[in-house]
Chains A and B, each alone.
Chain A
Amino acid sequence: MFHPSHFTAVLLFALFASTVFGITMRETPKRMFRYGAYCFALFVGSVIVLSWAMFFISR
């Protein structure tokens, strides 16, 4: 069985979801790649920001 850490699960989720978003939401390969990278950065960035926010709220 596979037991990833929370952050590894986030990275995997962001990678696969961003790939499909990039391909389906844009028309040219260059714009697909840029949109996929943008979605990936938003997924991971928002998780890091929210994680720190919850860390400070819990203290």
Chain B
Amino acid sequence: MNEKVMVSEDSIYYPPGGILIWMIIILEIFTFIGASLVFMYYRGISWEEFVAYREHVSPLIGTINTIILIVSGYFMANSVHKLRANNHKAAASQILWGLLLGVLFLIVKGSEYYFKLDAGLGLGFNTFFTFYWLMTGFHFIHVLFGVGILTYMYRAVKKSEYNSENMLDVESSATYWHMCDLIWILIFPVLYLI
């Protein structure tokens, strides 16, 4: 079947990246907003404990990781634009930069985890760190999965398996990667800054 189906970009059934990835985004964002609000609720109950142990997380490291993820998202957004212009080489290069920054995020986060565990601040240490590990840990898994997706996309775009007429998978992958940005934007202020 070679019939091409034209779908309008502003159709409710075709948000950028496709409706399925948006269904996932809705579920994920609601989950992490919920987690952030439950964190704030417990923060209100155990205010002194939460404020004291907030000092054990580094806002600077968190800020650096936020910048890394945002810049990585910028490269992924660029890769979609480049592929729309059928510039495969530039698109692959942009995905590679996004991917490398994603790996850098994981390295920074991994080192942060190492120092937390070394200091005995594990999952069961107290309520603050239970939230810290669960919220950042689930986000870490999302980024790890995203790095896998970007690795596949880098290989596929480099081999010109996608083009401007066939790029929904690339758009969906980029949207998934932006979802990782969005989750971090929500959880970073409540865990590290407030």
Decide whether A and B assemble into one complex.
Answer: no
